[in-house]
Chains A and B, each alone.
Chain A
Amino acid sequence: MPQPPFIQLTGISKIFNKNIVLEDLNLSVGYGEILGIIGKSGSGKTTLLNIIIGFLKPDKGSVIFQSRNIHKDEINVDTQFGFASQEFSFYDKLTVDENLRYFGSLYKIKDKTLDQRIPELLKFVDLEDKRNLLASNLSTGMKKRLDIACSLIHDPKILILDEPTSDLDTFLRRDIIALLKKINKEKEVTIVLTSHLLDELDICNRIAILNNKQIVATGSSDELKEKCSNNMEIILEIASGNYGYLQKMYKSDDRVSKSLVKDGKFILYTSKSETILRELLSEINSHGDKLLDVDVNKPSLNEVFEYFVNASNEKAIVTKKEDKIKKKNDKDTGDNKEES
């Protein structure tokens, strides 16, 4: 029997001042997984997270957590959810220990428990030697770790992270990603994170793509890449360096979505990679050219994201046009009826 989702969002809509941010959005989060939500800036990722933790109330739809609506069960949500926003959410003028103790007390954790938990947590996030340092004196990476520690002080079941690595350099980003993996694995905490940096989503068990107010695709990294296999990438390099005849060949071929020459290589995107590759090799041979290198790649996450976003946008445009035509037809029908 399949396990019910840990969190289930159904038909979520959120409107800010007549501006629809989310519309009829559906999403589920499984127990113990790391779910990454990607979307362009302003696509509503933070709004979605705020709805998940119950900070914002959706105008339509429901968020079910462990079979209970979170907006009717706020205390349960407060104690089981940990949240770290894009900005550090702690007091700069308190020490690391004081911050953790203060937030711990707000979760009604007793002093004795905190005495035990704080050192453990600091060790876990590698801040044990910074315990008595003012938060303002920590480095950016340390601040991020303190922020995550503050989110974990009450031992939550779910950790929600809004762009956890957005302002960090590559090394710090790698540290934080490693820490998140550790939290998920060792503490068995379900993690939901948003990002616009696709590289860091490699740690996610599942990825949800948010575009046009909805989740347009969900699945593991491989599943998503598979879904957009029409974007297989063929990269080849020939001795002559003259790719004109190849470009001409696929200029108006429906099987090829895009072709270009970049860095002395010919790059082509197609869903029929095997057939096209055969054709390419044959054409090169017939021109007496020499093939130096050839590579066939699955699309990168960037390309997957781009693919789903474009598909979603096209769909939206078509829907919009259809709606317009339908409206016009309805109007014409109405006018004809009136005339008759």
Chain B
Amino acid sequence: MLEYAIDTKQLTRRIGRRETVKEINLKVPIGGIYGFLGPNGAGKTTTIRMLLGLIKPSSGEISILGKDLKRDRINILGEIGSLVESPSYYAHLSGYKNLKIIALIRGISETRIKEVLKLVRLDKDAYRQVKNYSLGMKQRLGIAAALITYPKLLILDEPTNGLDPSGIQEIRELITRLPRDYGITVLISSHLLSEIEQVATHVGIINNGELIFQGSIQKLTEKSRPYLWIETDHPEEAAIALRQYGWDADPELVTNQVKTSVIEKPQSAEMIKLLVNSQHEIYRVAEKKKTLEDIFLELTGQEHSL
């Protein structure tokens, strides 16, 4: 039984001396929704283009649905539906004709065109020129084009780019339905964690061309350990006082707070008692959990740029 729909080994893409993708081992489990996350320019689209054989890797191997991409490119492409970056279309043709072109090349029936048009709710606008479509409609047409072949693997690069909230919601629902209803494995890339965390079962985070995290979404959530924040008048001295007693504590001078990883109730009581006894004013005490967004920013080292 095949475990991974996409399995890359030390996948690297070099442009001159610069490595835009560095030794990535992507493991996309069959039947999962894999969220491929990273800030803009991290190497997501480059990786996806390599998966589709649009550009060649400088080194490393790509295996898709158990086949080697170098040897079986044509067969593999037959089982993949994709939407890379912006949707691609012929603006002067109708939505229907756009799909018809793909259907002819791939040997797909007329009825399937109608089916996917219905699936993305473009059946009413099928005979209008695509250049008169809204961005959301173009995006949906792109998804219809990706789904038309009954793919086993769907690769969507930033599929919600430029969509309004209701469009995003719509695409999200469609994506969650796919593995459940049709057994399709989905790889979806985004630079926004909030977009991925609601649909993905697995996550890979890429930054500066390196895969810095890969695993189930639960594994990522586990990283969100809570902290206790104590607001006081002199955080630095308070932190020193706490550390003398062996607690872990860090002062945050800007907000006048002390941060500690100790959150069990008896210990917290001890700490506060200690601070009060050593003449520190305690204004408030709060437990804060790191959101996935914080983790994402922390992992990608981008928290300061905001």
B is a partner of A: no
Interface residues of A (CB under 8 A from B): none
Interface residues of B (CB under 8 A from A): none
